[in-house]
Homo-oligomer: A and B are copies of this chain.
Amino acid sequence: MTYCVGLYLRDGLVLLSDTRTNAGVDHVSCFGKMQVEEVPGERLLVLQTAGNLALTQAVWNRLQEGVRLDGRRQTLREVPNMFQAAQLVGQAVRDVYQADGPALSAQGVGFDLSLLLGGQIQGGPPRLYLVYAAGNFIEATPDTPFLQIGEVKYGKPILDRNVQFDTSLPDGVKLALISMDGTLRSNLTVGMPVDLLTYRTDSFAVALRRRLGEDDAYFRTIREGWAAALRRAYQDLPAPDWGRSGGSAP
């Protein structure tokens, strides 16, 4: 399994991916799931991937080689805007489906992958897309300023409650790490280290890119601080008082 999350904020993007890949429970490896295309001062694009590793690697390799869209072969370094970048990723997914889908189907294996594409190209605003296995895609908006792929449920409530378009990048980093921490604790197939990238609107360059392992002091502070805060928070909530109002006590 995998967990990747992208926050789409007024100030920029916060992108976080785990690195665990498994085929069964006894074949567990570490693979980066975050790929970056950067032309400093002109564009920054980040692709995060979840699903069958052979498929997601095939998509990335095709994007490196160039994918035929609108009659010509293009890469993410050439497309003129983010919408066409998302179309290009979708086309790469469809090309892989055409190449590998029938053989997978013959073995009873589903065509399982999804991707997050975030970034900005000169002339347009930052955008964040979720590309499905059918090659179609949705886009984050100020109303729904985050997208997730992979094992999305454990880490969703904290984002639902707190992520807004106006959330600052440092707060976004905290919330993404808290969301990842909850997922790491609840699903063994999501694993450390995690890859973090932040992007400031109109900078056209990576703001921060960092791999965080068990030994990262800040991630440890967040994990321990959050666990302690949750413990305090539920302990500080009042005990049920129905007993006093006529019912029986718990």
Please, which residues of chain B bring their CB within 8 A of the CB of A174?
Answer: 234, 237, 239-240
Given contacts A173-B250, A208-B248, contact A227 B182 (CB under 8 A): no
The 8 Å CB contact of A233, one of B221, B230, B237, B247, is B230
For chain A, residues 179 to 223, give those with C-beta under 8 angstroms from any C-beta of chain B: 182-183, 185-186, 198, 206-208, 210, 218, 221-222
Q: Are B186 and A235 in contact (CB under 8 A)?
A: no
What is the distance, in angstroms, from A236's C-beta to the closest C-beta of chain B? 7
What is the distance, in angstroms, from A55's C-beta to the closest C-beta of chain B? 24
Residue of B nearest to A234 (CB): B174
* Cα distance, A78 to B223, chains bound together (Å): 49
Bin the interface of chain A by size.
Answer: 35 or more
Please, which residues of chain B bring their CB within 8 A of the CB of A60?
Answer: none
What is the distance, in angstroms, from A211's C-beta to the closest C-beta of chain B? 11
Residue A231 at the B interface, CB < 8 A?
Answer: yes
Please, which residues of chain B bring their CB within 8 A of the CB of A155?
Answer: 157
Residue A226 at the B interface, CB < 8 A?
Answer: yes
* Cα distance, A173 to B157, chains bound together (Å): 19
